[in-house]
Homo-oligomer: A and B are copies of this chain.
Amino acid sequence: MSSHGTTPHHAAQRDAGLSGAGTNLDPWYDLYADRTAGLSASEVRALFAVASRPEVVSLAGGMPFVSALPSELIAGAFERMMRDVGPQALQYGSGQGVPALREHILEIMALEGIRASVDDVVVTTGSQHALELVTKLFINPGDVVLAEGPSYVTAMVVFNSFQADIQHVPMDEHGLIPEALREAITRLRAAGKAIKFLYTVPTFSNPAGVTLSWERRLEILEICRSNGILVLEDNPYGLIYFDSPPPQAMRSVEEDGVIYLGTFSKTLAPGFRVGWALAPHAIREKLILANEAAVLSPSSFSQLMITEYLNTADWKEQINTFRGIYRDRRDAMLGALAEYLPQLSWTVPNGGFYVWATLPSHLDSKAMLPRAVKELVAYTPGTAFYADGNGRNNIRLSFCYPTPDFIREGIRRLSTVINGEIDLLNTFSQTTPLATIPLKQGIVSPPPNID
């Protein structure tokens, strides 16, 4: 971690547990921008490198199960693309994205109740890049981003990289709590803070696996509208539901106050890096300019591959296939948790990729991770999903990538670790104080392959 800043904001970041290793070796140490202090290497990155060994069951990453995608569908899209629009696929495109793809994106969003103009869609390099561009457009150093607690880790990395002040709003099993949002706005405004937007994954949230209820969607939109706060609705998982469709998107209700982010990473494949933003008119113009500055244009090759896939494949049926696969895996995980780890509590997702589990309160999930990896199972510690050091006794368990058998085996191994920890604590708790954790912990940056 390097920094040359001397502002209080900056110093606070540096004190927040971020590593200072290596700064003396960097001859360019004095040249970095202040914001670069917000970019930190993950404290668990080295462990995740170990965890990618094949003998480890990884419940840590967010990799979709792309092997379920028939390769002949991809090959067919490629052949038609090269035959019909080959030179266009190899060339620069527009900063807004391929018009035919944007038309398809309207069809996809209509499945969640969204009506929009093709002019207001901006194709991006994954929805991650839309997060980056929106943050670049709106965040001055010190501005507040309201974010669910817990929140998607790499969104927080982006917010930090633009020196945002991330303020969490608590959630429960029905998602963000409206009353808590009101209180946070009042408190932060009283402290003179500029609140720019509310960042939320309302449907099958990452990492909590919960879904914001319809009534709360309306209430939260009203709170944000009346307070002049934008809603950044990030919806990568909405179409990956298991039991019944989730409530319609927040953007289906409110056109002017919501920037909606979508992606092909979960319904098709992340390797193309194609996502999009649907934004109010004036903001969309600025997004296009920011997109052009950042990448000139999103990949024509990727965009036209997806366009041809959507033109000809039964993509809705393919999404159904993904639903079935991930439903089986969720069921395997919930079953294994009930069998092996009944002393934990966890969320029951109706879609998406993740279960959020709560350990007995004296366990520290980050400290426990090396022991888990030694037992050949990996997860993501809860602190990764908070900007304020919370989440110490939470873990995120991903069921998207391993098969049901591996998920069961992973949870079995995890139970060994957790039960061992509990035994250890019981043995020592009457003679030795529990290990204490610094209250403020820096955000850990993402393990690879989390979206």
Contacts and interface: CB of A to CB of B under 8 A. Distances in A.
Contact of A90 (B69, B89, B294): B69
A93 B450 CA distance: 10
A368 interface: no
B74 A82 contact: yes
Interface in A314-358: none
Contact of A22 (B86, B282, B445): B282
Given A69-B90, A299-B302, 5 more contacts: A34-B140, A41-B289, A132-B294, A272-B301, A273-B297
A317 B450 CA distance: 40
Contacts of A196: 31
5 contacts: A2-B286, A35-B140, A74-B86, A78-B78, A125-B273
A322 to B, nearest CB: 13
Contact of A91 (B66, B129, B293, B295): B66
Interface in A80-105: 82, 86-95
B91 A270 contact: yes
Ranked 4 nearest A-B pairs via Cβ: A26-B282, A90-B269, A271-B300, A66-B90
Given A35-B136, A92-B270, A161-B136, A87 B74 contact: no
Q: Which of A93, A136, A293 is the most central at the interface, judged by chain B CB atoms within 10 Å of its CB?
A: A293
B28 A295 contact: no
A200 B446 CA distance: 33
Interface of A: 2, 22, 25-36, 39-41, 63-64, 66-67, 69, 71, 74-75, 78-79, 82, 86-95, 125-126, 128-129, 132, 136-140, 143, 154, 157-158, 161-162, 196-197, 228, 230, 256, 265, 269-273, 280, 282-283, 285-286, 289-290, 292-302, 305, 445-446, 448-451
Contact of A292 (B66, B143, B446): B446
A451 B269 CA distance: 28
A21 to B, nearest CB: 11
Contacts of A143: 33
Given A39-B290, A91-B270, A448-B95, A31 B230 contact: yes
A294 B128 contact: yes
Nearest to A450: B296
Given A280-B28, A289-B40, A296-B126, A91 B22 contact: no
A128 B296 CA distance: 7
Q: Which of A34, A157, A270 is the most central at the interface, judged by chain B CB atoms within 10 Å of its CB?
A: A270
Contacts of A285: 22, 41
A290 B91 contact: no
A66 B87 contact: yes
Nearest to A27: B256
A397 B256 CA distance: 42
Contact of A71 (B22, B82, B282): B82
Q: Which of A71, A285, A286 is the most central at the interface, judged by chain B CB atoms within 10 Å of its CB?
A: A286
A89 B39 contact: no
Given A31-B230, A158-B293, A294-B128, A92 B138 contact: no
A292 B445 contact: yes
Nearest to A299: B273
A16 to B, nearest CB: 16
Nearest to A94: B448
Contacts of A228: 30-31
A293 B78 contact: no
A277 to B, nearest CB: 14
Contact of A301 (B64, B283, B302): B302
Given A132-B293, A289-B41, A292-B154, A71 B86 contact: yes
